[in-house]
Amino acid sequence: MAAVIEVDALTKEFSRPDVRPGRFAGTRSLFTRARKVTRAVDGISFRIDAGELIGFLGPNGAGKSTTIKMLTGILVPTSGTVTVAGQVPWRDRRQNARTIGAVFGQRTQLWYDLPLRDSFGIIRDLYGMDAATYRTRLGEFTELLGLDEFIDTPVRSLSLGQRMRGDLVAAMLYAPPILYLDEPTVGLDVVAKGKIREFVAEINTRRGTTVVLTTHDMDDVERLCRRVIIIDHGVLLYEGDLESLKARYVTTRDIVVHATEFDLTSVASPFAEVLTAGPAKATLRFAPATTSTPKVVHDLTSRYPITDLSVLEPDLEDVIRQLYTERRTG
């Protein structure tokens, strides 16, 4: 599949006056040319194919938002190249604006004093949408995101979750092939998060929209993303699918067993370590690199009258934390 976003050796540096402590520090800074340079993005390279839904991850200060701003054309890189749908974002700004949609967390593109419907009407006019297409898309998005109850409410009176749903519609009304989502579920309740996840999954699978998602919510990643790109301090740490990431960094897995007519206090297995054991429930840990899950399951179920059993999948947040720790201590 052809790449729709190509990034090569992308670097962004910010410089500011180097203010030294002491009396009259502010005055001295007016007469010195000394600058302090911070490298927010440090020579990263990756490609994203058309129709992918990518998780773009990293801790606070990793360079995620800076990278997204270069992809959208808001910032110009210090060095390196970016092409989005064959265009250089900061050079071909007008055409790039028609190619992308963007939702930046707590920042809205809606008109504060206007009803939500009127904001959508302005976006329709800005992008020259015909009336029939506009009605069809707005109707579809209204149903998918449940906008009926508040579409005629001024934006200033909407809850955060309602406004975020409105921002998603505003970003997708003119059907851009690429959508950037920067922390779209931050601060939202469970219902609002669910609506937004459903919407993102729908436009990706049905419309083939390429989605780049930055988030700290690992549930967003596990439920939506097929592949992830992880950066830290501006450096690319990992690019690949989630299962490969887990396989690389998960060294143990837990298995929980239950029994109703047997005391599991003395449960044991040559293939697993017992973490906790009580009359009705026990948790064991094994290394999937040396022992397969079916082997542990067969051993336990063949020797004990187990009524229920579950294998706990690795926590993605723990996996990524381990990746960060390995990089910083290594």
Residues near 25 by beta carbon (within 8 Å), at least 6 away in sequence:
19
Please write the tens of the pLDDT for every residue from 40-62: 999 999 999 999 999 999 888 88
Stretch 33-40: mean pLDDT: 80
- Tokens, residue 229: 């790109």
SS3 at position 136: helix
The CATH H-level (homologous superfamily) assignment of domain 3-9+43-247 is: P-loop containing nucleotide triphosphate hydrolases (3.40.50.300)
Amino acid 330: pLDDT: 59
Amino acid 20: pLDDT: 66
Which is it for strands 227-232 and 273-277: parallel, antiparallel or unpaired?
unpaired
What DSSP assignment string belongs to 3-48?
EEEEEEEEEEEEEEE-PPSSTTHHHHHTS---EEEEEEEEEEEEEE
Does the pLDDT of residue 118 top 90, yes or no? yes
Please write the tens of the pLDDT for every residue from 125-169: 999 999 999 999 999 999 999 999 999 999 999 998 899 999 999
- The label of the residue with tokens 């009359």 reads 279
List the single range of 8-17, 58-67, 183-192 with lowest mean pLDDT: 183-192
Domain boundaries, the chain: 3-9+43-247, 251-313
Strands (E), 71-206: 79-84, 100-104, 178-182
Stretch 79-83: mean pLDDT: 95
| Whole-number percent of the chain with pLDDT over 70 | 92
Amino acid 37: pLDDT: 83
SS3 at position 84: strand
Stretch 219-223: mean pLDDT: 87
Amino acid 26: pLDDT: 59
Instruction: Tell me if 53 sits within 8 A of 228, measured CB to CB.
Output: no
**pLDDT class for 23, splitting at 50, 70, 90?**
low
Instruction: Tell me if 310 sits within 8 A of 255, measured CB to CB.
Output: yes
